Amino acid sequence: MPDALPVPAPVARRFLVLRHFLAPPRALPPDPASILSVVDRLGSLQFDPLSVAGRNHDLVLHARIAGYRPEWTDDLLYRRRLLFEALNKGLSILPTRELPWYRHTWDRHAERHGEGIFVEYADEVDAVLARIRAEGPLSSIDFERRHVIDWYWGPTSRVRAVLEALAEAGVLGLARRDGNRRYYDLVERLHPADLLARRVPESEQVRHRLLSRFRGHGLLAATGGAELWGGTVPRTPEGRADGRRRVELVGELVDRGELTPVRVEGVRQVRHVVTDELPVLAQAEREIRTALGPGGAQPGVAFVAPLDPLAWDRDLLRSLFGFDYTWEVYVPAAKRRWGYYVLPVLFGDRLVGRIEPRIDRTARRVRVLGAWWEPGFDPLAEPGFVPAFAAALADYAAFSGAAAVTWPRTRDARALARAVTAEGA
């Protein structure tokens, strides 16, 4: 295995924002093709249905693409089908051309459900498939839902469990979403026959999925928790994730030249860069050495989604950025330190604070419930921050379809609001 390249901490921070298309933010052209550019670079985007501040994948794309519109992604997913939804790091949006490299997930679920729900409720499975085959895309509300069963995430209707199991097994796919309601169709009616027929050895599929995590984040170690690596390698006979096998596979990716090990100043573990991105690392070094701004521009502001690939590795956020971030959406309200749906604030290549926006679609307003800044960071005194923040907030309001922004009635919030308003936002 090659020696790890030494990387100074400022270069590592600059590299991450450059390779994440965040230097400067919202700089990709206002076109659906930019979505494909982001997904090609990051490998996949996590899907989360919560939309109080915008759906996670929409926030990820909004931070990178000028004038981003959520309907562009929906069109790529459900009409043009250049993207599809499948399990990777949770439910994810993936390039459709990579579908053959994710089939082993379908195969494993088909085997598991073939010994469980498909046998136990065989009549319901047959009835669901017969109706979809005859009528086209259907949702669980199109079926009687009288029977409730214990599904793996909680009690639900039997027909909903059958639909989900058939989708997990690759028999059905998502034809469209109506809000968060899913409409399913036969997978062979959604994707080309030659794509579905292509078979890639499972060993290559496993490597591809593992590599997708490095593509997503850009600077991962070979170890870490289940939130980073879940589903990347087969489980042991005892049902545990096989961390040793994952480390072996990372070594294979290094030996194949697909990953390059690096040792980042101040970070304990050896990290890995996708080898194709070494020119971006060199660009980061040049910018730091010559005192250029990120991407050769003045620092901009982006609001980072909770499941943005940049934020996947919370340990690295602490050791490299000095930023401690917990997504508190599942934390009881009384125990939250910040708020329900709080977004990190990126300024240039620094994480400088947090913001909690809410989209009030009825009133066509963005309500800022709170903003908090890191120790030593004064948003009003930091050169260039206020106009960059004002631009980010104006773009976020446009993305949200909002005509106005409201602020908390605190002294600090009012002072920042006045400064932002003076910038014309």
pLDDT for 328-346, tens place per residue?
A: 999 999 999 999 999 999 9
In terms of Cα–Cα distance, which of 311, 221, 337 is closest to 268?
221
What's residue 375's pLDDT?
Answer: 95
What's residue 214's pLDDT?
Answer: 97
The residue assigned the tokens 């206002």 is: 30
What's residue 66's pLDDT?
Answer: 98
- What pTM value is reported for the model? 0.95
Q: Residue 173 carries which DSSP code?
A: E
Please provide the distance, in angstroms rounded to a whole number, between the alpha carbons at the two ends of the chain: 52
Question: Whole-angstrom Cα distance, residue 13 to residue 264?
Answer: 10
In terms of Cα–Cα distance, which of 46, 43, 64 is closest to 55?
46
What's residue 339's pLDDT?
Answer: 93
The residue assigned the tokens 């199109």 is: 142
Residue 99: Cβ within 10 Å count = 21
* Phi, psi dihedrals of residue 148, rounded to the nearest 5°: -105, 135
Do 117 and 156 form a contact (C-beta atoms < 8 A)? Answer: no
Regions of the chain where pLDDT drops below 50: none
In terms of Cα–Cα distance, which of 210, 142, 204 is closest to 178?
142
Helix (H, G, I), strand (E, B) or coil at 25: coil
What's residue 238's pLDDT?
Answer: 61
Apex CA 311: angle with CA 25 and CA 294, to 5°? 30
- CB burial of 331-363 (b: ≥16 within 10 Å; e: otherwise) equals eeeeeeebbbbbbbbbbbbbbbbbbbbbbeeee
19 CB-side CA count, 13 A: 30
Do 293 and 299 form a contact (C-beta atoms < 8 A)? Answer: yes
Q: What DSSP string runs through 309-359?
A: GGGS-HHHHHHHH------GGGS-GGG-SS-SS-EEEEETTEEEEEEEEEE
Question: Whole-angstrom Cα distance, residue 85 to residue 89?
Answer: 11
Apex CA 92: angle with CA 308 and CA 106, to 5°? 155
Distances (CA, A) of 266 to 7, 70, 103, 271, 283: 10, 38, 39, 12, 21
